[in-house]
């Protein structure tokens, strides 16, 4: 008798499995059609590191205080600085980040008191040539140009850190800025209208 | 009659021809860059530990053995099935006897654990 | 038993073998002589009051600068009584020397890999280890012990002090 | 046309059969055996024995050679020591065989067969089925016994207990 | 054999031959670009993102015609996803060598690019996969987002689409 | 059209090849394969006789089915013996077994 | 006549380092007789990244990102293990809210980690679809993480003294929504697998790990609980604030692959329960205690452990009073769990080895570090 | 009007007008052969795409999207790419055997279509041993897999080859026995004969006469076509890729093609034997061309095979054998006896 029960049980469960898959066959796909659609990146997104410039003057916010360099766990940041004879303040003469070893930890952003360095939601940074992995100051500044942010107050108490907000543009930052690395992104561009997709309000919502 | 099977014979040639022509065509356009590692056997990213033309375990063999016997039996079933209705009960009983003997064989094999994968 | 009780029990039981004892970071800790390393391990495992059937952690610390040797640290643990004990021993060594000690892999099979790792990284020889091959390092590693302090070797780049 | 087909098939059969008995690698021999059997099946088909042609493929190719290949893999260490494939008497054996063949041809030339003009090709399956169920009932049942015995024997021999 | 690599030179002499070769080239390149089978081979954290998450429903490699093959003989693309230790590097080299031409490599994540967070103070990490095998596309990130991987694949497709018959079909024997 | 003689000569040749293999092979599996060849040559005879001598009765064909059956049974048992031989003596060499006289 | 056992040639074969079912770079050299496994020798270290060495050369705060890489499937738990150890070393108090957030994140990550395990386990057994379903749910968790800390895999979320980011305001509704639909999704997986006869055949009585072996090899986590040992560090040695939550510790009976599967499936539900309680009781307040930039813990050593998704994860940190640890030894669950594979895997077929390996839930960076 | 059966006859007649019969046979055989080859290639292209789409949608993905409309050109791209792939042969491989294995594999899959009735009058050769012919010719698949496994000189390949050989032969017995059931009902081995015997509405289909036989057949056929849950030979997670592990380029493509062709073959046989072949559901639906019925039914059957594949885990190799011998085989015997009784009693 138990054999019969086992068999019927087995068949029932086999059919149950089939039911699950066929149920999903008629559900909406949750796939992001990448080059055409993109997620709206969350504000805190920790992608490519950029240097922020002052919105009015266009100058880098960085005061070359070297805090980020010290904080970086992988020593990806190298800063050289010089004292500006006029203002008697330090200014970075070269600011490179080795994106080949950066681990996108965000400690540099946390260390900087001048809202000068930030991790953004940019992620389309693939390249053909390894030497381009080392981002120099100009490039970092270029990347940071369209990044919106709020100048951070000198935070005394470290609680409830108000984050600089950033709304990354979804289109190719690099292709737009038309810089040295712009070649070879045609297929990402020519897909026409790029839709922005909010992250799923759980897939159920779409059915 | 011979015409029927001539088709089969010619189809053999057509199939082989098709595949060989595809291979040949592929040969024309594919690259060929051999290197010593490439011509070694693949074994999950290591060089093989030993030659693999090795002597294999008996377990599959027993199944093949039993299979031969039952395959032969199937051969007898087909002509019987084709004329069964015309011959009626007698043929059916005959076949029952035939089947019974072989089912006995199956049961024997079962009991002897020849069907067991040990 | 809580840590103190355990410590008390053990120090009383194995008085003659324990050099030092105390509670470090909430864990009962004893220090033994390298010679007693294996025998006391066996006792601790077999003792019905302690029943240290499992090893929670097992490693070495390079204390050559401070204490003149390597310290082996093993944290034992009992599922039954839910108590743990750290046992330490100091293997005196100078410079590039490789100190020796009896293996524990016969007492706890799990110590096997821990010891292999420690052996290749610190250069401590575990006498009687059943399988003294490299565990983590390449098969053709040149035989130096990278976890020793101050080691440097093939394309090893120390993080620049910025 | 018929003759051409015959010669092609005969060539396939004989060449592959020769390979079967001469190839060093026993696995290759087994594969050549398949070719030979397939050729024989073709021959059957050309002789109006369509059922037998299918049976030939089914049993010989599908079962017997597979079994042989399995046996090769079970018993044969192709990698290790090379088992000698031949004994020392190919020449005497060849002579015996040639004389046997001559004898055969001579006797054949002496024999006359009453060839009946074959009329139409009737479907053979039904014919064989009827024959099995009527005139050959006894052999038919005996076959099942033979198969049973073979099965039991083979299992007894091949199993280790 | 790769005769085709020499073909364009002859065909182009014929009037209209240039168009023929370019369109044939286009077609062949298109086929290679849109059917990149990647090798199922992950090393570390990046493999979870680059191979598993990208292959899963949300990002779906299959949309690009990319499916995984476990055997390097049938794979076109090796995604080096993760930290490459010296011990593993040898095996990766073997695997790469065993792949059938034409083959491509994407180096994914900081570790594969330059050693990543293990660049300093690590005695066992190889600092960059390009030291052992040629790389076509680098993706910075730690780990890169699945979209970045898709973007790199698009870049790779672009690269493939620009290839010349003579380059990939030429044989060295 | 080929005549019955054609088939008989073919089957004779096949038989001889099989016999040759039987005599020269030392590998027991090789011997079995040769035997299968000889079975086949017999079957060719049956069928050609069936076609040319008794086209209506199908006797030859029915017989051939039996022969195939026997051949299969023989192969099964024979190969089982080979496996047994291999198991006991670690060889599949017929000469060697003959020498052992078991 | 005595019939000798048929001598078959045992052969060695490399399974890995590139093999679909070793989940990364593990190499098993197996000795096989036919399809039966006679001996397994695991070779590890293909992912040995010398994290312990690196730990000696980073400040305490700088090491947090590296903990993410020790167990990349459950980075939050790995973070948690480290910060607890460091805090204990330096005697740092953690604000209430931060503790709650840590628990929420750790438990969510436990679910995510089990989902990855389920996905790979299912695919090991040949069922592809559960893989994609499990990853679908995992993406939902990753979304939550991403909106909180900006990364999908390497979170660097916890810091010594609290957590780095407070949750954004969309977090809570999303989380509640996830918690609402998650049980039904688990039901889907169970429909596909749990009682499927094929699945039962493949996992029942396969790779039985007895309690004794489990103790000897210090197996921990769900693999241990599958053998019927009710042992969970969250309860037994309650760290953080786990004593405030009400949850069960699922255990198995036989210690076979199916039991380990069941334990993990039920653990996912339990974790969801904990998250529910934590989010309901989430207090306000600070998320971080101020820790100086150059943080120097006092000289001493500390040994702490937590229950990571794969079992016990422990840190033994020796401090010499400077900004960098003197020695950091990391004990991970997979390192010990993998060692039982040669014991429980033999005399099974190669297909079973795959199932057993999958059911142990080994991830290689944890073994190699 | 849309019946295609007449076309072939017309071509035959036309050829007969000016050629000797031998040439007519050869030419028409070649033409039909090429036509079937073309059909099979298209079919395989479609099936591969379809499988990818179905699996994708079952998993809430899209599947191929970027080559043509919803990726319809995907398989073409795959094929052309495989054409350009380097062809590898390990140096220890058995060259000749290695070369012939894919040919035989594909050939065996292709040869079966000699007797498949695609529609009323659309059958290349209605051999009167039709169904037996298919069983016989497909045994070459086993041989080819063994050859591939052996020749590659790779342990995984060898394991895969042996496994698949053992699997296919084990399932062949219940498969043939299930077919015997249908033959008993139809009293003929010819494929067309079997289809005609089921004429006149769906209740005449043999699936309703011998449901047990159908069950046995379908399970065994799933195994014969190497589909999950019986896809042991190439079990990715265990054997990396099974017998074709060393094959690349076109040779691999042939195995791949053969797999999908085989899948359609077993479906076509299932339809022919148990679902009335090209017969319409009701006789008044006869205005729909017969080949549409046939293709429709076969594709449904193929869909079910795919559905299985994307739902179930894979069974273990010993369980697979046990299942064939200890469960399916007795069931198949029972089926024959039941059908025999039925015929004797109800005549
Ligand atoms: S994100 Fe981290 S690793 Fe990268 S530059 Fe900033 S601190 Fe350094
Ligand atoms: S980026 Fe910020 S922390 Fe770094 S040097 Fe500039 S101002 Fe200082
Ligand atoms: S780049 Fe980062 S995420 Fe990728 S493997 Fe390296 S450490 Fe892991």
pLDDT in tens, H216-263: 888 888 888 877 777 766 666 667 777 788 888 888 888 888 888 888
For A39-51, letters b (16+ CB in 10 Å) and e give bebbbbbbbbbbb
Identify which of G334, G345, G363, G332 has the alpha carbon closest to the alpha carbon of residue G29. Answer: G345
Query: Is residue A165 pLDDT above 80, yes or no?
Result: no
A106 CA: nearest ligand 1 atom: 1
In this structure, are residues E34 and H67 in contact, taking their beta carbons and an 8 Å threshold? yes
CB contact under 8 A, G5 and D77: no
Burial of D137 (0-12, 13-18, 19+ CB in 10 A): middle
Query: Is residue D81 pLDDT above 50, yes or no?
Result: no
Closest Cβ opposite residue H155 in set B39, B43, B86: B43
Q: Is residue H266 part of a domain?
A: yes
pLDDT in tens, F1-30: 677 777 888 888 888 888 888 878 777 788
The tokens for B104 are 């006995």
E46 lines ligand 3 (CB under 6 A): yes
Neighbours of chain B (3+ CB pairs under 8 A): D, E, F, G, H
The answer, for G1 touching chain D at a CB cutoff of 8 Å, is no
Chains G+C touching (3+ CB pairs under 8 Å): yes
pLDDT bucket at A174, cuts 50 / 70 / 90: very low
The tokens for C140 are 């053709």
Q: What is the CATH number of the domain that holds F65?
A: 1.10.287.3510
CB contact under 8 A, B7 and H125: yes
Measured on CA atoms in the order H300, H302, H308, H309, is the torsion positive or negative? Answer: negative
Range of the domain at C52: 3-148
Q: Within 10 A of F50 (CB to CB), how many other CB atoms are there?
A: 25
Domain ranges of chain D: 1-78, 123-161
pLDDT in tens, A47-94: 888 888 777 777 777 777 888 888 888 888 888 888 877 877 777 788
pLDDT bucket at A1, cuts 50 / 70 / 90: low
Distance from CA of D148 to the nearest CA of H (A): 16
Q: pTM for the full model?
A: 0.86
Q: What is the CATH number of the domain that holds G126?
A: 1.10.645.10
Distance from CA of F96 to the nearest CA of D (A): 11
A117 lines ligand 2 (CB under 6 A): yes
Determine what percent of chain H is predicted with pLDDT higher than 90: 0
A77 lines ligand 1 (CB under 6 A): yes
pLDDT in tens, F42-94: 888 888 877 777 767 677 778 888 888 888 888 888 888 777 777 666 666 66
Give H 54-73 residues with CB within 8 A of chain B.
Answer: none
Range of the domain at H213: 84-346
**CATH class of the domain at A49-144:** alpha beta
Mutation site, G6, G10, G34, G35, interface D, largest D CB count within 10 A: G6
Average pLDDT taken over every residue of chain H? 81
* ipTM rounded to 2 decimals: 0.84
Closest Cβ opposite residue H311 in set A18, A30, A31: A18
Range of the domain at F9: 4-101
A77 lines ligand 2 (CB under 6 A): no
Query: Is residue A183 pLDDT above 50, yes or no?
Result: no
Q: Give me ligand 1 centre to Cα A105, in Å.
A: 5
Closest Cβ opposite residue A184 in set E135, E139, E155: E155
E113 CA: nearest ligand 3 atom: 1
From D157, which residue of chain B is nearest by alpha-carbon distance? B62
pLDDT in tens, C10-35: 777 777 777 777 777 777 888 888 77
Helices (H), D23-161: 26-46, 50-55, 65-75, 90-110, 124-133, 137-158
Residue E33 sits at φ, ψ, to 5 deg, of -70, -30
Q: Identify which of A49, A62, A75 to mutate to test ligand 1's pocket (most ligand atoms within 8 A of the CB).
A: A49
A97 lines ligand 2 (CB under 6 A): no
Please state, in angstroms and rounded to a whole number, the distance separating the CA atoms of residues H161 and H243: 5
Distance from CA of C72 to the nearest CA of G (A): 11
Q: Within 10 A of G249 (CB to CB), how many other CB atoms are there?
A: 18
Structural domain count, chain H:
1
A61 CA: nearest ligand 2 atom: 7
Pairing mode of beta strands A134-135, A89-98: antiparallel
Chains H+C touching (3+ CB pairs under 8 Å): no
Note the ligand closest to the C-alpha atom of A71.
1
Identify which of C56, C2, C45 has the alpha carbon closest to the alpha carbon of residue C26. Answer: C2
Q: Is residue C158 part of a domain?
A: no
Q: Give me ligand 2 centre to Cα A69, in Å.
A: 8
Please state, in angstroms and rounded to a whole number, the distance separating the CA atoms of residues G71 and G337: 14
Residue G318 sits at φ, ψ, to 5 deg, of -110, 125
Number of C-alpha atoms within 13 angstroms, CB side, residue C105? 19
D1-78 is classed CATH 3.50.50.60: no
Q: Identify which of A51, A59, A65 to mutate to test ligand 2's pocket (most ligand atoms within 8 A of the CB).
A: A65
Domain ranges of chain A: 49-144, 160-192
Range of the domain at G267: 47-333
Identify which of G301, G296, G298 has the alpha carbon closest to the alpha carbon of residue G314. Answer: G301
How would DSSP label each residue in G181-228? HHHHHHHHHHHHTTT-HHHHHHHTTSS---HHHHHHTT--THHHHHTT
Could you write out the three-class secondary structure of A83-138?
EECCCCEEEEEEEEEECCCCCCCCHHHHHCCCCCEEECCCCCCCECCHHHHEECHH
Q: Give me ligand 3 centre to Cα E44, in Å.
A: 7
Query: Is residue E6 pLDDT above 60, yes or no?
Result: yes
The tokens for B99 are 């089947």
Q: Tell me the residue length of chain B.
A: 118
Neighbours of chain F (3+ CB pairs under 8 A): B, D, G
Distance from CA of G118 to the nearest CA of C (A): 27
Highest-scoring range by mean pLDDT, D130-134, D152-156, F39-43, G190-194? F39-43
Q: At what angle do helices D26-46 and D65-75 cross, to 10 degrees?
A: 170
- Residue partners of D39: CB distance under 8 A and separation at least 6: D9, D12, D13, D16
Neighbours of chain C (3+ CB pairs under 8 A): A, E, G
Residue E80 sits at φ, ψ, to 5 deg, of -80, 100
Closest Cβ opposite residue B64 in set D66, D129, D143: D66
Residue ranges for chain G with pLDDT beneath 50: 1-4
A112 lines ligand 1 (CB under 6 A): no
Q: Give me ligand 2 centre to Cα A64, in Å.
A: 5
Residues of H whose CB is below 8 A from G345: none
Least confident window among A50-54, A99-103, A201-205, H343-347: A201-205
CB contact under 8 A, G197 and A161: no
Q: Is residue C161 part of a domain?
A: no
E83 lines ligand 3 (CB under 6 A): yes
- Residue partners of C148: CB distance under 8 A and separation at least 6: C62, C64, C122, C123
Measured on CA atoms in the order E28, E34, E35, E40, is the torsion positive or negative? Answer: positive
Q: Within 10 A of B25 (CB to CB), how many other CB atoms are there?
A: 12
Structural domain count, chain C:
1
End-to-end CA, chain C: 49
Q: Give me ligand 3 centre to Cα G153, in Å.
A: 9
The tokens for G96 are 């209430």
Residues of F whose CB is below 8 A from D118: 51-52, 55
Please state, in angstroms and rounded to a whole number, the distance separating the CA atoms of residues A69 and A48: 16
Residues of G whose CB is below 8 A from E124: 48-50
Cα dist. H153→D78, H94, H165 in Å? 11, 8, 17
Task: For chain F, state the CA radius of gyration.
Answer: 17
In this structure, are residues E78 and E91 in contact, taking their beta carbons and an 8 Å threshold? no
CB contact under 8 A, E87 and C158: no
Neighbours of chain D (3+ CB pairs under 8 A): B, F, G, H
Closest Cβ opposite residue A31 in set E60, E113, E151: E60
Q: What is the CATH number of the domain that holds C82?
A: 3.30.460.80
Burial of H55 (0-12, 13-18, 19+ CB in 10 A): buried
Burial of D111 (0-12, 13-18, 19+ CB in 10 A): exposed
Q: At what angle do helices F28-52 and D65-75 cross, to 10 degrees?
A: 170
Q: Is residue H120 part of a domain?
A: yes
In this structure, are residues H286 and G168 in contact, taking their beta carbons and an 8 Å threshold? no
Which run of H or E residues covers position H217? helix H211-224
G69 lines ligand 3 (CB under 6 A): yes
pLDDT in tens, G83-122: 888 888 888 888 888 888 888 888 888 888 888 888 888 8
Structural domain count, chain G:
1
Q: Is F69 helix (H, G, I), strand (E, B) or coil?
A: helix
pLDDT in tens, B89-109: 777 887 888 888 888 888 887
Structural domain count, chain F:
1
My answer on whether omega of the bond before F52 falls inside 30° of 0, hence cis, is no
pLDDT in tens, E35-49: 888 887 778 888 888
Q: Is A82 helix (H, G, I), strand (E, B) or coil?
A: strand
Q: Is C52 helix (H, G, I), strand (E, B) or coil?
A: coil
E49 CA: nearest ligand 3 atom: 3
Q: Identify which of A98, A99, A103 to mutate to test ligand 3's pocket (most ligand atoms within 8 A of the CB).
A: A103
């Amino acid at each position: 008798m138990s054999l019969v029960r086992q068999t019927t049980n087995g068949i029932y469960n086999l059919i149950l499995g089939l039911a699950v898959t066929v149920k999903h066959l008629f559900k909406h796909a949750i796939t992001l059609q990448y080059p055409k659609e993109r997620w709206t990146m969350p504000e805190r997104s920790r992608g490519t590191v950029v240097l922020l410039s002052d919105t009015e003057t266009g100058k880098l916010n960085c005061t070359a205080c070297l805090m980020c360099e010290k904080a970086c766990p992988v020593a990806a940041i190298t800063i050289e600085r010089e004292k500006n004879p006029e203002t008697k303040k330090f200014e970075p003469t070269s600011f490179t980040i080795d994106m080949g070893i950066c681990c996108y930890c965000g400690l540099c952003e946390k260390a900087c008191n001048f809202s000068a360095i930030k991790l953004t939601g940019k992620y389309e940074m693939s390249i053909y040539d390894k030497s381009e992995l080392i981002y120099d100051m100009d490039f970092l500044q270029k990347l940071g140009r369209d990044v919106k942010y709020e100048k951070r107050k000198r935070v005394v108490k470290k609680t409830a850190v108000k984050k600089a907000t950033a709304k990354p543009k979804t289109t190719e930052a690099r292709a737009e800025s038309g810089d040295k690395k712009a070649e070879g992104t045609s297929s990402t561009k020519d897909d026409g209208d790029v839709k922005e997709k909010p992250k799923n309000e759980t897939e159920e919502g779409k059915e | 009659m011979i015409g029927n099977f001539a088709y089969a014979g010619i189809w053999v040639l057509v199939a082989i021809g098709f595949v060989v022509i595809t291979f040949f065509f592929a040969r024309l356009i594919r690259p060929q860059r051999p290197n010593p590692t490439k011509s070694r056997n693949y074994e999950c990213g290591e060089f093989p530990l030993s030659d693999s033309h090795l002597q294999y375990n008996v377990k599959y063999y027993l199944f093949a053995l039993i299979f031969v016997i039952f395959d032969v039996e199937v051969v007898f079933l087909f002509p019987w099935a084709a004329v069964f209705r015309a011959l009626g009960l007698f043929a059916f009983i005959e076949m029952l006897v035939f089947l019974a003997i072989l089912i006995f064989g199956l049961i024997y094999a079962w009991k002897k654990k020849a069907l067991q994968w040990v | 038993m809580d840590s103190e009780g355990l410590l008390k029990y053990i120090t009383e039981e194995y008085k003659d073998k324990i050099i030092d004892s105390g509670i470090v970071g909430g864990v009962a800790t004893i220090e033994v002589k390298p010679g007693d390393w294996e025998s006391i391990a066996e006792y601790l495992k077999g003792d019905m009051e302690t029943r240290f059937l499992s090893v929670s952690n097992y490693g070495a610390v390079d204390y050559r600068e401070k204490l003149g040797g390597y310290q082996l640290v093993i944290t034992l643990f009992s599922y039954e009584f839910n108590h743990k004990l750290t046992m330490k021993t100091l293997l005196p060594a100078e410079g590039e020397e490789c100190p020796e000690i009896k293996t524990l892999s016969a007492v706890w099979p799990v110590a096997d890999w821990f010891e292999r790792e420690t052996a290749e990284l610190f250069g401590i020889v575990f006498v009687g280890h059943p399988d003294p091959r490299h565990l983590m390092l390449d098969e053709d590693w040149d035989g130096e012990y990278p976890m020793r302090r101050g080691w440097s070797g093939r394309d090893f780049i120390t993080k620049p002090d910025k | 046309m018929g003759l051409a087909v015959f010669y092609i098939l005969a060539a396939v059969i004989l060449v592959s059969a020769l390979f079967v008995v001469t190839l060093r690698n026993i696995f290759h021999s087994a594969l050549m055996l398949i070719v030979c059997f397939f050729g024989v099946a073709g021959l059957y088909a050309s002789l109006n024995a369509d059922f037998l042609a299918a049976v030939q493929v089914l049993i010989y190719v599908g079962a017997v050679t597979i079994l042989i290949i399995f046996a090769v893999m079970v018993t044969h260490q192709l990698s290790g020591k090379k088992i000698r494939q031949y004994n020392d008497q190919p020449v005497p054996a060849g002579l015996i065989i040639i004389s046997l063949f001559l004898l055969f041809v001579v006797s054949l030339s002496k024999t006359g067969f009453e060839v009946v003009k074959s009329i139409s090709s009737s479907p053979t399956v039904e014919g064989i089925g009827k024959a099995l169920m009527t005139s050959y009932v006894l052999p038919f049942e005996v076959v099942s016994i033979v198969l049973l015995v073979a099965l039991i024997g083979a299992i007894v021999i091949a199993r280790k207990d | 054999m790769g005769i085709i690599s020499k073909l364009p030179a002859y065909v182009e002499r014929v009037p209209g031959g240039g168009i023929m070769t370019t369109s044939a080239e286009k077609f062949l390149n298109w086929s290679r670009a849109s059917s990149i089978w990647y090798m199922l081979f992950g090393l570390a954290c990046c493999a979870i993102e680059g191979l598993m998450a990208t292959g899963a429903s949300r990002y779906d490699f299959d949309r690009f015609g990319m499916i995984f093959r476990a055997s390097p003989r049938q794979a076109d693309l090796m995604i080096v996803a993760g930290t490459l230790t010296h011990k593993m590097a040898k095996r990766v080299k073997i695997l790469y060598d065993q792949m059938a031409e034409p083959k491509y490599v994407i180096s994914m994540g900081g570790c594969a690019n330059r050693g990543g967070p293990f660049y300093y103070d690590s005695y066992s990490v190889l600092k960059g996969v390009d030291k052992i095998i040629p790389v076509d596309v680098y993706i910075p990130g730690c780990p890169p987002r699945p979209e970045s991987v898709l973007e790199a694949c698009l870049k790779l497709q672009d690269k493939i689409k620009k290839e010349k018959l003579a380059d990939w079909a030429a044989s060295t024997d | 059209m080929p005549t019955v003689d054609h088939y008989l000569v073919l089957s004779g040749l096949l038989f001889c090849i099989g016999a040759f293999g039987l005599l020269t092979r030392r590998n027991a599996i090789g011997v079995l394969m040769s035997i299968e060849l000889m079975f086949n040559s017999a079957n060719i005879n049956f069928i050609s006789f069936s076609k040319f001598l008794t086209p209506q009765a199908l006797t030859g064909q029915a017989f051939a089915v039996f022969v195939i059956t026997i051949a299969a049974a023989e192969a099964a048992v024979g190969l089982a013996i080979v496996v047994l031989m291999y198991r006991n003596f670690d060889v599949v060499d017929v000469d060697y077994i003959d020498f052992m006289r078991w | 006549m005595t019939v000798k056992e048929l001598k078959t040639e045992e052969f060695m074969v490399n399974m890995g380092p590139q093999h679909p079912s070793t989940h990364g770079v593990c190499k098993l050299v197996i000795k096989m007789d036919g399809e039966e496994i006679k001996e397994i020798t695991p070779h590890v270290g293909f992912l040995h990244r010398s994290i312990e060495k690196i730990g000696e050369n980073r400040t305490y705060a700088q090491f947090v990102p590296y903990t993410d890489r020790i167990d990349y499937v459950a980075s939050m738990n790995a973070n948690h293990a480290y910060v607890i150890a460091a805090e204990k070393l330096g005697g740092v108090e953690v604000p209430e809210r931060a503790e709650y957030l840590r628990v929420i994140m750790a438990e969510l990550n436990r679910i995510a980690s089990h989902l990855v395990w389920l996905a790979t386990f299912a695919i090991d057994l040949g069922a592809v679809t559960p893989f994609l379903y499990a990853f679908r749910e995992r993406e939902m968790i990753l979304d939550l993480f991403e909106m909180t800390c900006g990364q999908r895999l390497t979170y660097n979320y916890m810091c010594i003294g609290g957590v780095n980011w407070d949750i954004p305001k969309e977090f809570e509704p999303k989380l509640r929504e996830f918690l609402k639909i998650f049980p039904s999704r688990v039901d889907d997986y169970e429909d596909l697998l749990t009682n499927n006869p094929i699945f039962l055949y493949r996992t029942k009585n396969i790779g039985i790990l007895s309690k004794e072996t489990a103790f000897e090899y210090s197996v921990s986590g769900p693999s241990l609980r599958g053998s019927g040992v009710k042992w969970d560090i969250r309860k037994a040695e309650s760290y953080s604030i786990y004593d405030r939550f009400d949850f069960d510790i699922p255990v198995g009976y036989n210690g076979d692959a199916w039991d380990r599967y069941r334990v993990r499936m039920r653990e996912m539900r339990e974790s969801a329960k904990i998250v529910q309680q934590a989010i309901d009781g989430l207090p306000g307040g600070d998320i971080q205690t101020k820790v100086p930039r150059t943080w120097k813990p006092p000289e001493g050593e500390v040994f702490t452990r937590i229950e990571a998704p794969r079992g016990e994860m422990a840190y033994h940190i020796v401090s010499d009073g400077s900004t960098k640890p003197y020695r950091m030894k990391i004990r991970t669950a997979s390192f010990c769990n993998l060692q039982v594979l040669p014991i429980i895997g033999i005399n099974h077929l190669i297909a079973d080895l795959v199932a057993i390996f999958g059911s142990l839930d080994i991830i290689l960076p944890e073994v190699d570090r | 009007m849309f019946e295609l059966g007449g076309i072939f006859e017309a071509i035959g007649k036309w050829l007969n007008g000016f050629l000797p019969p031998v040439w007519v046979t050869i030419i028409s055989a070649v033409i039909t052969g090429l036509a079937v080859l073309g059909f099979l290639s298209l079919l395989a292209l479609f099936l591969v795409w379809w499988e990818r789409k179905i699996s994708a949608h079952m998993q809430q993905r899209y599947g191929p999207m970027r080559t043509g409309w919803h990726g319809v050109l995907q398989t073409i791209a795959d094929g052309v790419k495989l054409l350009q792939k380097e062809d590898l042969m390990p140096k220890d491989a058995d060259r000749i055997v290695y070369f012939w294995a894919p040919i035989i594999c594909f050939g065996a899959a292709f040869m079966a279509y000699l007797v498949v009735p695609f529609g009323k009058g659309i059958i290349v050769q209605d051999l009167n041993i039709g169904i037996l012919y298919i069983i016989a010719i497909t045994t070459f698949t086993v041989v080819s897999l063994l050859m591939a496994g052996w020749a590659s000189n790779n342990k995984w390949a060898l394991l895969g080859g042996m496994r698949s050989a053992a699997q296919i032969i084990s399932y062949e017995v219940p498969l043939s026995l299930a077919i015997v059931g249908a033959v008993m009902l139809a009293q003929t081995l010819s494929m067309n004969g079997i289809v005609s015997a089921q004429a006149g509405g769906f209740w005449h289909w043999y699936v309703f006469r011998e449901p047990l036989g159908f069950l046995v057949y379908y399970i065994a056929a799933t195994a014969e076509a190497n589909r999950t849950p019986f896809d042991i030979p190439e079990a990715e997670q265990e054997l990396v890729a099974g017998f074709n592990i060393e094959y690349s380029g076109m040779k691999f493509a042939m195995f791949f093609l053969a797999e999908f062709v085989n899948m359609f073959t077993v479906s076509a046989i299932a339809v022919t034997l148990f679902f009335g072949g090209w017969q319409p559901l009701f006789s008044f639906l006869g205005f729909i061309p017969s080949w549409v019925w046939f293709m429709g039914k076969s594709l449904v059957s193929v869909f079910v095979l795919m559905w299985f594949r994307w739902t179930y885990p894979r069974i273990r190799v010993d369980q697979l054998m046990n299942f064939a011998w200890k469960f399916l085989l007795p069931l198949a015997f029972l089926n024959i006896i039941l059908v025999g009784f039925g015929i004797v009693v109800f005549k």
